[in-house]
Amino acid sequence: MRNVAPVSRVPFADLSHQWNPIATEAMAELRQLFSDSAFSLGPWVERFEQSVAGYLGTPHAIGVNSGTSALHLALIAAGIGPGDEVLLPSHTFIATAWAVLYVGATPVLCDVEEGSGTIDVADAERRLSSATKAIVPVHLYGQPADMAAVESLAQRHGLTVIEDAAQAIGATYDGRRAGTLGKFGCFSFYPAKNLGAAGEAGLVVTSDGAAAARMRALRHHAQSERYVHAELGFNYRMEGVQGLVLDHKLRLLPDWIEERKGLANAYAERLSHLPLALPRVAHKDHVFHLYVVRTPERDALRAFLQERGIETGLHYPVPLHRQPCFSALDLDRDSFPVSDRYASECLSLPLFTGMDKAQLDYVCEGVLAYYGKS
């Protein structure tokens, strides 16, 4: 946290703080990339794949064009298809479910834990059937799901674990990086994520060499050799520019994560005495992609902060079991009480790389003022 002059508005995020520290070095290399025309895959993507594999501690990292594509390739490589059921939390970003639909499988929505907002594995177990083939825990807001429970369920029922780590790059769980605990780990580098590309990008990782080779081919029109297509393929290639920018930013990610934790701690210190549910770190180690508080007065608090120039977010206001696109899913829509509560009570406060102390103070003062405590 830096110390600067008083502020009168705070944006939800300011991504320039991820770009400015790498701009000089990255621009020089970008000039080279452009003159080499290394626009699609190529050496800069390969370099990033190697460095991110090293950072995560995984043998195979495959750069793709989005987190959604990463999930799609993982589900294909897991052999999931029509007739199969896949467990996933109802309280997540929609893309977790898209991938299940893309392969023609059936999403089986599960409720989430009160404390962490991540998948409630006991509820998932109740929703198992003989058709269940996989589980997709989401490391929501940057906090790993209860992976010990996920792993135990998966082993007992022969499920493939595909981690949606889109919000949690760099988080550790039991000494390992989120995304390397299951058979597959999927990441998004959408610009607003903790590690953001200069456009769209994603990554899928696995320790299974055969699955990795298949996903590498699939992202590139399923070419095992040039113009020979073994199966239905996709254009999910990562762009060279993204590999270059991500590689530079990855070097700063450990510092950025510490900074996020510091901001989260500062919020917790200032706000803990209020009638507001603060993020609970139930499963270490939370990297605070989002700082989500909960209150039944969410809408009033949000409007109050907006009036003071404080931007907030809602992650997410409509749970999957209430999405119009799932109206045909046969399920008991009242069996997700915790997801429903998250949807109506969640409020994301500003927390971003480069946020300064004055901005944090201003947000805290706004929240305290709402509760009449300023």
Ligand X SMILES: *Cc1c(COP(=O)(O)O)cnc(C)c1O
Query: Judged by CB under 6 A, which of 202, 240, 319, 354 binds ligand X?
Result: 202
Residue 164 or residue 239: which is nearer to ligand X going by CB? 164
Burial of 12 (0-12, 13-18, 19+ CB in 10 A): middle
> Is residue 66 at the binding interface for ligand X, with CB under 6 A as the rule?
yes
Nearest-angstrom CA–CA distance, 240 and 130: 43
DSSP string, 98-139: HHHHHTT-EEEEE-B-TTT-SB-HHHHHHT--TTEEEE--B-
Kindly indicate which of the ranges 60-68, 78-86, 213-221, 347-355 contains the residues binding ligand X, using the contact rule CB under 6 A: 60-68
CB atoms within 10 A of CB 297: 14
Beta-carbon contacts of residue 156 (< 8 Å; ≥ 6 apart): none
Q: Which residues are catalytic?
A: 193
Query: Least distance to ligand X from the beta carbon of 200, Å?
Result: 6
Rank residues 165 and 355 by Cβ distance to ligand X and give the closer one: 165
- Rounded CA gap, 182 and 135, in Å? 10
Residue 197 within binding range of ligand X, rule CB under 6 A: no
Question: Which among 164-172, 206-214, 230-238, 255-263 is the span making contact with ligand X, rule CB under 6 A?
Answer: 164-172
Q: Is 190 in the site for ligand X (CB under 6 A)?
A: yes
Asked if residue 206 binds ligand X (CB under 6 A), the reply is no
Q: Site mask, ligand X, residues 272-311, x = CB under 6 A? A: ----------------------------------------
Q: In degrees rounded to 5, what are phi and psi of residue 200?
A: -100, 140
Q: What is the phi/psi pair of residue 32, to 5°?
A: -65, -45
335 burial via Cβ count (<10 Å: 0-12, 13-18, 19+): middle
Nearer Cβ to ligand X (67/179): 67
Nearest approach, Cβ of 168 to ligand X (angstroms)? 9
Q: Token pair for residue 257?
A: 């994560």
How many whole angstroms from its chain centre is CA 225?
Answer: 33
188 binds ligand X (CB under 6 A): yes
Instruction: Compare residues 116 and 188 and give the one whose CB is closer to ligand X.
Output: 188
Residue 273 C-beta: closest distance to ligand X, Å: 31
What's the min distance (Å) between Cβ of 190 and ligand X?
Answer: 4
Instruction: Kindly state whether residue 138 participates in binding ligand X, applying the rule CB under 6 A.
Output: yes
State both tokens at 111.
């409720």
Helix (H, G, I), strand (E, B), or coil: what is residue 347? strand
Among 21, 42, 67, 196, binds ligand X (CB under 6 A): 67
Query: Restricting to residues 85-104, which ones interact with ligand X according to CB under 6 A?
Result: 92-93, 95-96
Judged by beta carbon, residue 290 or residue 364, the one nearer ligand X is: 290
| 108 or 271: CB nearest ligand X | 108
Cβ count near 223 (within 10 Å): 15
DSSP 13-66: --THHHHGGGHHHHHHHHHHHHHHT--BSSHHHHHHHHHHHHHHT-SEEEEES-
Beta carbon of residue 68, minimum distance to ligand X (angstroms, whole number): 3
Q: Which of 18, 58, 68, 194 binds ligand X (CB under 6 A)?
A: 68
Which residue type, as a one-letter code, is found at position 47?
A: R
Q: How far is the CB of 163 from ligand X (least distance, A)?
A: 10
Shortest gap between Cβ of 140 and ligand X (angstroms)?
A: 7
Binding residue count for ligand X, defined by CB under 6 A: 14
**Residue among 117 and 202 whose Cβ is closer to ligand X:** 202
Given 123, 164, 259, 340, the residue binding ligand X (CB under 6 A): 164
Check: CB of residue 223 under 8 Å from CB of residue 285: no
**Residues lying near ligand X in the complex (CB under 6 A):** 66-68, 92-93, 95-96, 138, 164, 166-167, 188, 190, 202
